[in-house]
Amino acid sequence: MSTPAFADLVADEPLTITSARARATEVGCPAIAPAVGASLAALAAAVKARAVVEIGTGAGVSTLWLLAGMRPDGVLTSVDTDGEHQRATRAALTDADIPTPRARLINGSATDVLPRLADGGYDLAFCDASPGEYPDYLHHLRRVLRTGGILAWHGVLARGRIAEPSARDPDTVAWRDLLSALRAEKSVRTAVLPVGDGLLIAVPT
C-alpha cells in the first residue's frame, strides 16, 4: 500500500463524507483527499474553532471535514462561485444532519466576500479554489483571522511543479508568490503538509 493510500485509510472517512465525495464526482468538482480532510479537522480541533471560512466548497467534502473538527456551536462560512457545487454542499449538509445555522453558504467570489468579513472574527481559513487568486486573498485572510488562528491552502504540491525552477505556468507562479509573501512576514510560521495535493499552512504569531 502506498503512503498516500495509507494516510487516506487512517483518515477513516465517515460515510456521509464518502457520499459527498461521490456527489462531487457527479458534478465535476475536485474534492480534497481523505487525509487532507482529516488534517483540516485536526487543525480545527486544535484551535477549538468556533468560526471558520472556506473558499471553495469541494461540493461539501471539505465543508463536512471542517465541521467535524469544529466546536459543536461553531459556524462555517463557505464561499463559492459555482451554484451547482453549493447545491451539492447543501445536499451533503442535509445528509449529515448538520443544522442549518451551522453552515452559511455564500454564492460569490472571494475577492468580493472577504472584504465584508469581520476583522479577527475567524479561527481558521481554508482555500481550495483558483491558485491564481491566492496572493490577492492574503491581506484579507490575515485581517479576518484571529491571533493564533490558522490559514490553510490546498494544492501547493499539485503536479509536482512547485520545486521545478523552469515551471512558469500561472498557477505555479501564484503559489511561489504566496510562499514569498508568507516568508517575508517574520510573524508567520509556515509549513507544507505532504497530504493529498499538498496542504500549505500558516500561523500568524
d(CA 176, CA 182): 10
Of 85, 139, 140, 154, which one is the catalytic site residue? 154
**CB 65 within 8 Å of CB 41:** yes
Instruction: Write down the number of H helices and E strands in the chain.
Output: 8, 7
Is residue 154 flagged as an active site residue? yes
Task: Indicate the Cα dihedral angle 114, 117, 119, 120, nearest 10°.
Answer: -90
**CB 50 within 8 Å of CB 123:** yes
Closest CA to 180 of 155, 202, 149: 202
Cβ contacts of 82 within 8 Å, gap of 6 or more: 29, 57
Q: Is the dihedral of CA 162, 176, 82, 57 positive or negative?
A: positive
**Residue whose grid cell is 483527499:** 33
145-154 sheet: strands from edge to edge: 103-107, 75-80, 51-55, 122-127, 145-154, 199-204, 188-193
Catalytic residues: 154
